[in-house]
Chains A and B, each alone.
Chain A
Amino acid sequence: MRVIWLIATKEWKAFFYTPFAMILLPLFLVLSGSYFASNLESYMNLAHPNESMGDVGFAVQGLNTMDGILRPFFDSLLNVFIFMVALITMRVFSEEKKSATYELLVSYPVTPGKILWGKYLGTFSIVLSMLALSLVYPIIIQMFGHPYWPQVWTIYLGDFLFLMVYVAIGVWASLLSENQLVAAVITYGAFFLSFLLGYLAHIVGTPYDRFLANFLLIAHLSSFNDGLVFWGDLAVYTAGTSFFLTLAYLRLKRHYA
């Protein structure tokens, strides 16, 4: 456990000490902030149409801040994460491989499992710290309205689980190549493959559609966004994470005969 913690904290430090973090974090705040502002503006236009809209202006009855601002905001935020996570995970092993620090790491008396867990948890914690930054937006809404916090937390749980799988995909992809760009493309590719398989579910029909629909990772977020938690969704995300971490482990284990 000590070694996992050591590798994870080193990973954390390595990220935040680099100029890469100085670019990525402000970029995340700018993108998430602009999505929030645009959703807020749409909500204001729908809930409180101003006079400039004239005769066509109307207020959408019963629109609350949860459905009007936060849900669409978190849907948009996911796009930011899909973009960001691949950029963060691409360096996990690829950069170490390219700079040869990876060779030193595997020459140390550490099991491949501990290296993997350390790297994974360190990277996941970086992504989670970005997710935590997004809490500022429900807090802003709280200052002027009444967000439904239980639903906010289930949305966060869904995002947590989705990112758990997506980071595992990214860590596995970064083991496949010394080239960070290739690793990022593989991560995006794996995500879009999940889209394709989900789309295929609509085409093939029963009995395979239910099975294939499980691969559409993003679809399992809808119940969390509605404030509902289903075991099936939890199981899909847990299985996905385990699958990709196992692939990464097998890849890493090749150094240990």
Chain B
Amino acid sequence: MITVSNLNHFFGQFHALKDINFTVPMGTIAGFIGPNGAGKSTTLRTLAGILIPTSGTVELDGISLFTHPLEARARMGYMQETPILYRELKIREYLEFVAQIKNISKSEYQDRVQHIMKRCGVAHIQERLIGNISKGNRQRVALAQALIAKPKVLLLDEPTSAMDPSEVIRIREFIRELKSEMSVLLSSHILSEVAQICDRIIFIRDGEIRYQGSIQEIEAIIEKAHQTVALRFADPVEPFMQRLQGLAGAQILSVEGLFVKVLIEDDTQFYPALYKMVSEYGVPLREVVAREHRLESLFSGGSKS
């Protein structure tokens, strides 16, 4: 279980994390999404014990990261966004180093290293120097080091960004298999990845959690977003605003200059009514724009929950 309460972090005057609160229960994969610079990596680095926040608390598997730093770290595996590992070590040497650092017993660590290398698909290249392997393979080694001590909390920062498509599918399946044993917080900007493997979504923007909920809830929001269009007119809309408000099967959400944002409740009623209004009353409609459905735009004005 990951419990984050009232987390704030300042970089000088810049308020990077603003009152972050969320929990990731055991057996859950939470997708941590948001645009670049939103605070995803800062949050993950704080949870990994790399950054000390200005205020707030973090509990990993029920242990406070700040009052019991070693015990909490022992329960956590962290994979960085850019997997930069010790280039001068062989894959096997590096994982043996991490296994021992993480207090896996002498009798056990070699078997554990061999097992995790097989699971992460790097066993066949275990004697190669990390400096000489591809970025995708380095990501697999980074995942292996995060998992080697069987953590209760797994923090993954963009875990498949450099892998080829077949590997991505395999690693996603692997992460899903792992979830029964741990809480996983996975940062990503790939919506399809998040939708496929996550049970929950936490959306962050400008250092604030804008939305969090189950994958079913977000699907409903996406569905609603698909029903939203913008109407662009040639002239200001005020003279025919009354007609617009009377359009069947739709609800006016906002008016911004020449644009009117509309939520379509019933398209079988809305479009005929719109065409009729244009042809019969000469309303100067120029374009019907389907809204861009990027995640960040979905939640930019979303409510916190």
- Residues of A at under 8 Å CB distance from B? 2-3, 6-7, 10, 13-14, 17-18, 99-101, 103-104, 106-111, 254-257
Residue of B76, B89, B145 touching A10 (CB-CB under 8 A): B89
Residues of A within 8 A of B275 (CB): none
Residues of B within 8 A of A255 (CB): 49-50, 52
The smallest C-beta distance from A166 to any residue of chain B, in angstroms, reads: 25
CA distance A54 to B70 in the complex (A): 75
In the bound complex, do residue B70 and residue A107 qualify as a contact, i.e. CB atoms below 8 Å apart? no
In the bound complex, do residue A108 and residue B101 qualify as a contact, i.e. CB atoms below 8 Å apart? yes
Listed from nearest, the 8 A-B pairs whose CB atoms lie closest are A257-B66, A17-B88, A109-B74, A109-B73, A107-B48, A256-B69, A107-B78, A100-B84
The smallest C-beta distance from B153 to any residue of chain A, in angstroms, reads: 11
Q: Mind listing 19 A-B residue pairs with CB under 8 Å?
A: A3-B101, A6-B101, A10-B86, A10-B89, A13-B93, A14-B89, A101-B84, A103-B45, A103-B48, A107-B50, A107-B73, A108-B73, A109-B71, A109-B102, A109-B103, A254-B52, A255-B52, A257-B66, A257-B67
The smallest C-beta distance from B98 to any residue of chain A, in angstroms, reads: 7
Residues of A within 8 A of B84 (CB): 99-101
Q: Please tell me if B82 contacts chain A, counting CB pairs below 8 Å.
A: yes
Residue of B66, B86, B97 touching A6 (CB-CB under 8 A): B97
Residue of B52, B71, B76, B88 touching A14 (CB-CB under 8 A): B88
In the bound complex, do residue A100 and residue B49 qualify as a contact, i.e. CB atoms below 8 Å apart? no
Q: Please tell me if B85 contacts chain A, counting CB pairs below 8 Å.
A: yes
Residue in B73, B78, B86, B145 whose Cβ sees the most chain A Cβ within 10 Å: B86
Residues of A within 8 A of B85 (CB): 101, 104
Residue of A2, A100, A110, A257 touching B52 (CB-CB under 8 A): A257
CA distance A3 to B73 in the complex (A): 15
- Residues of B at under 8 Å CB distance from A? 45, 48-50, 52, 65-67, 69-71, 73-74, 76, 78, 80, 82, 84-86, 88-89, 93, 97-98, 100-103, 145
The smallest C-beta distance from B108 to any residue of chain A, in angstroms, reads: 14
The smallest C-beta distance from B14 to any residue of chain A, in angstroms, reads: 19
The smallest C-beta distance from A4 to any residue of chain B, in angstroms, reads: 11
In the bound complex, do residue A104 and residue B66 qualify as a contact, i.e. CB atoms below 8 Å apart? no
The smallest C-beta distance from A37 to any residue of chain B, in angstroms, reads: 34
* Beta-carbon nearest neighbor of B101 in chain A: A108
The smallest C-beta distance from A204 to any residue of chain B, in angstroms, reads: 40
Residues of A within 8 A of B82 (CB): 100
Residues of A within 8 A of B102 (CB): 108-109
In the bound complex, do residue A111 and residue B88 qualify as a contact, i.e. CB atoms below 8 Å apart? no
In the bound complex, do residue B98 and residue A108 qualify as a contact, i.e. CB atoms below 8 Å apart? yes
CA distance A252 to B48 in the complex (A): 15
The smallest C-beta distance from B23 to any residue of chain A, in angstroms, reads: 21
Residues of B within 8 A of A104 (CB): 78, 80, 85, 145
Residues of B within 8 A of A10 (CB): 86, 89, 97
Residue in A13, A101, A104 whose Cβ sees the most chain B Cβ within 10 Å: A104
Residues of B within 8 A of A18 (CB): 88
CA distance A7 to B67 in the complex (A): 25
CA distance A3 to B106 in the complex (A): 12
The smallest C-beta distance from B31 to any residue of chain A, in angstroms, reads: 21
CA distance A3 to B98 in the complex (A): 10
Residues of B within 8 A of A3 (CB): 100-101
The smallest C-beta distance from A118 to any residue of chain B, in angstroms, reads: 10
CA distance A10 to B96 in the complex (A): 11
CA distance A106 to B76 in the complex (A): 12
In the bound complex, do residue A106 and residue B86 qualify as a contact, i.e. CB atoms below 8 Å apart? no
* Beta-carbon nearest neighbor of A108 in chain B: B101
* Beta-carbon nearest neighbor of A111 in chain B: B70
Residues of B within 8 A of A254 (CB): 52
* Beta-carbon nearest neighbor of B64 in chain A: A257
* Beta-carbon nearest neighbor of A15 in chain B: B88
In the bound complex, do residue B80 and residue A257 qualify as a contact, i.e. CB atoms below 8 Å apart? no
CA distance A17 to B93 in the complex (A): 13
CA distance A94 to B301 in the complex (A): 42
CA distance A18 to B86 in the complex (A): 11
In the bound complex, do residue A13 and residue B100 qualify as a contact, i.e. CB atoms below 8 Å apart? no
CA distance A25 to B25 in the complex (A): 53
CA distance A104 to B80 in the complex (A): 8
In the bound complex, do residue A6 and residue B69 qualify as a contact, i.e. CB atoms below 8 Å apart? no
CA distance A3 to B135 in the complex (A): 28
CA distance A13 to B90 in the complex (A): 11
* Beta-carbon nearest neighbor of A17 in chain B: B88
Residues of B within 8 A of A256 (CB): 49, 69
